[in-house]
Amino acid sequence: MSVHLRIENHVATVTLARPDVLNAVDLATEAELQRIWTEIEGRDDIRVVVLTGEGERAFCVGADLKNPTTTGLEYWGAARPGGFGGIALRETLNVPVVARVNGFALGGGFEMVLGCDIVVACEEASFGLPEALVGRMPLDGGMTLLQRQIPYRKAMAMLLTGRRIPAREAAELGLINEVVPRAGLDEAVRRWVDA
């Protein structure tokens, strides 16, 4: 499975489990995420969701550009309900989502972060929408959500240049709630979940 769902004490933890490719999303992962969000929507026993990536290098680097299923026009032209990973533009999820950002959050991975309610990141995390560097635009939530969450000119600078920003700068812009040392990431997420 490319995504793990664990439910414990009313907390659902959704983990992207492809650390060998920095938790990049292929078609199978996208379908599994869509299924998981639909399952969470249909349950009454979940009060909060934690979204994260497996490993220490990446939360998610977006679409798996080395996978043939995600490089063609069929993938890029496909409509993704709810935006990238099924969450960036999802309006039907009735519980808060906490992003536990443990490394790179790029492209669609950053779009997923933008779709979360609370964001906690380790100091090594970085954020960006590099689509412009390959002649594309982040159409699965990034363009819309980024401009709603930070000043317009800052958003446009990121969108048009593909520039990455470190966690501290993201916090200063208001994109994330808390930056902590990697060793304190789980404890910080627990604090937000228990709040």
Mean pLDDT for 147-165 is 96
Provide mean pLDDT across the span 141-149. Answer: 92
Tell me what pLDDT residue 76 has.
Answer: 55
Neighbours of 182 (CB within 10 A): 14
- Mean pLDDT across the stretch 139-162? 93
Position 55 scores a pLDDT of: 96
pLDDT one-digit tens code per residue, 43-70:
999 999 999 999 999 999 998 888 766 6
Question: Tell me, what DSSP letter sits at residue 188?
Answer: H
Average pLDDT, the chain: 92
Give me the pLDDT at residue 71, please. 58
Q: What mean pLDDT do residues 158-185 have? A: 97
User: With helix as H, strand as E and coil as C, how does 90-159 read?
Assistant: CCCCCCCEEEEECCEEECHHHHHHHCCCEEEEECCCEEECHHHHHCCCCCCCHHHHHHHHCCHHHHHHHH
CA-based R_g, the chain, Å:
15
Identify the pLDDT of residue 70: 63
pLDDT of amino acid 183: 97
pLDDT of residue 12: 98
Catalytic residue among 30, 32, 54, 111: 111
Q: Print the SS3 string covering 35-71.
A: HHHHHHHCCCCCCEEEEEECCCCEEECCECCCCHHHC
* 2-50 confidence digits (pLDDT tens): 999 999 999 999 999 999 999 999 988 988 999 999 999 999 999 999 9
Domains in the chain (CATH in brackets) are 3-194 (3.90.226.10)
- Report for 9-13, 64-68, 81-85, 139-143: range of highest mean pLDDT: 9-13
Residue 154 and residue 94: Cα distance in Å, rounded?
30
For residue 182, which phi and psi values (nearest 5 degrees)? Answer: -55, -40
Q: What is the pLDDT of residue 66?
A: 82
Residue 134 CA, chain-centre distance (Å), reads 20
More confident residue, 82 or 126: 126
Q: Identify the pLDDT of residue 82.
A: 83
Please report the pLDDT score of residue 126 as a whole number: 98
**Residue 172 designated active-site:** no
124: annotated active-site residue: no
